[in-house]
Chains A and B, each alone.
Chain A
């Protein structure tokens, strides 16, 4: 856990042996949140089939508390961007993200959602959803195996577990100065306008000869 526990670990385990369970508000709150993540039922392309397979009988996402796929963004905590994001679809995705209530998380599933993947050179393919919305977990693969999506899910749970509720460095969704909605790009004559959101997309400058 990233934040320091508010109670001495030795004392806590000693108390636990006596049948007294001591916890903090933050731990309880994050424990509840991380074990009931409701993903948005929303598939874009090939990865969506693997996402369904993850939720289906063999891989069973329910073991991690993530089986309640909600068709409405108003009820969802997690957006799994599963598949190629085209420029025609990108405004819709930003709109869906804006409609989700805080706290909200994004998993960028598969090569296409990360960077455009094999379809990078297409004229209608967005080269990564992180040009418009912030992403929490990236999973590579084309498509990633269901195990990889489960791994991403566990990474996200770890991230939620470490989020602080108060003080400096508290979670972004509790900070009113951090935006939770982002402008929706418009359809232009040749490309989306703007082609990337400068507030979100900060590619490292590549220095080469």
Chain B
């Protein structure tokens, strides 16, 4: 079904057949922190008029584990494993974001092979993240279990690759400033190719399952619309921004890593609703597969670590740097201030998940309470990154 087929009812009024008022009386509902579809310990205080949301205040901090304070009290290398636990679905891209910022802070060059490996691993992470998101989002919509099982089947294949490379399934701690920790084990590339070649099958199956589904279209189209102006002002990044039609992908804009060497397109939405945000992920997955194939074909031989960098007892010069990457959820930035000692004076994480929630209330107003879960799911948050 094409993007133009849409439900006819307006988003601001209550859907037909549903009592829109309850004598103007508002009912306060606290959703979370323990709720099956808040993706962790997120809480929303919702004021409802009948079924319709009239006010929504998010409450944070239930997973505030003091990432930044710990980062200021540990060495530069010591923070690397902590970055794994920020957005715990995408540890590889968090590693890259932090490594990139430290490299900016100290002016470190990265060998070519390491950059290629980073691209491969970050894009594999994108596959994991987007596939899991599709599963979770459909779970929130009531397709309980089945899509998630499909998504996790693919995820396990990619986690096997991560594990054989870094020794851990989820918390890879693989990248270092100036390169990567270890080279590929024998046979890794062949297995990775197999996973990448098998992935389109999952995508085809999944698209067949969801894109033409009447229920899915009724639940997502015209729900949670976000205009491009508001998205830019609110600092929305990642697929959520591009679904509103703003062409801003850091892989193209900043051209970090070796992304300018690869041919890929940036999918753009038109309507900024949940359906577009969902389809952005599906389309991005296809582009990601293209990047992976190119990077795997071109992977050069050579060292994976800049030999000049002493990662232990690492002391960057006095100064500050802000580095950012296009993580699967949006712009992941690290802001570091060095006072010349072994610990950063200021260690700040710019979390895409938190800032993408800025306009959650604007997107939910006028929709029913059941739509809130879909809208939240389509934003794609991970609480480890929201609260840090």
Contact = CB atoms under 8 A, between A and B. Distances in A.
Q: Within 8 Å by CB, do A and B touch in the complex?
A: yes
Interface of A: 41-46, 48-50, 52-53, 56-58, 71, 73, 83-84, 86, 88-89, 92, 96, 112, 118-119, 121-125, 142-143, 145
Contacts of B67: 122
B40 A43 contact: yes
Given A44-B63, A86-B61, A86-B64, A53 B156 contact: yes
Contacts of B89: 49
B63 A118 contact: no
Interface string B149-190: 100110110000000000001110000000000000000000
Interface in B339-388: 383-384, 387
Contacts of A49: 88-89, 170
B211 interface: no
B154 to A, nearest CB: 10
A50 B62 contact: no
Interface of B: 33-36, 40-41, 61-67, 69-70, 73, 81-82, 85, 88-89, 148-149, 152-153, 155-156, 169-171, 383-384, 387
B34 A86 contact: no
Contacts of B64: 86, 88, 124
Contact of B66 (A52, A89, A124, A143): A124
B384 A46 contact: yes
B265 to A, nearest CB: 30
List the 3 shortest-distance A-B pairs measured between CB atoms, nearest first: A122-B66, A46-B88, A56-B152
Contacts of A45: 40-41, 63, 65, 85, 88, 383-384
29 contacts: A45-B40, A45-B41, A45-B63, A45-B88, A49-B88, A49-B170, A52-B148, A57-B149, A57-B152, A58-B156, A71-B35, A73-B34, A86-B61, A86-B64, A89-B63, A92-B33, A92-B34, A92-B62, A96-B34, A112-B65, A121-B66, A121-B73, A122-B66, A124-B61, A124-B65, A125-B66, A142-B171, A143-B170, A143-B171
B24 to A, nearest CB: 31
B70 A44 contact: no
Contact of A56 (B85, B149, B387): B149
B63 A123 contact: no
B63 to A, nearest CB: 6
**Max chain A C-beta neighbours (<10 A), residue from B36, B73, B148:** B36
Nearest to B89: A49
Contacts of B73: 121
A126 to B, nearest CB: 10
A53 to B, nearest CB: 6
A119 B88 contact: no
A56 B159 CA distance: 14
Given A53-B152, A56-B148, A46 B171 contact: yes
Contacts of B34: 42, 73, 92, 96
A99 to B, nearest CB: 10
Given A53-B152, A84-B65, A92-B41, 16 more contacts: A41-B36, A43-B40, A45-B384, A46-B171, A49-B170, A50-B170, A52-B148, A56-B149, A56-B156, A57-B153, A86-B65, A88-B64, A119-B65, A124-B64, A124-B66, A142-B171
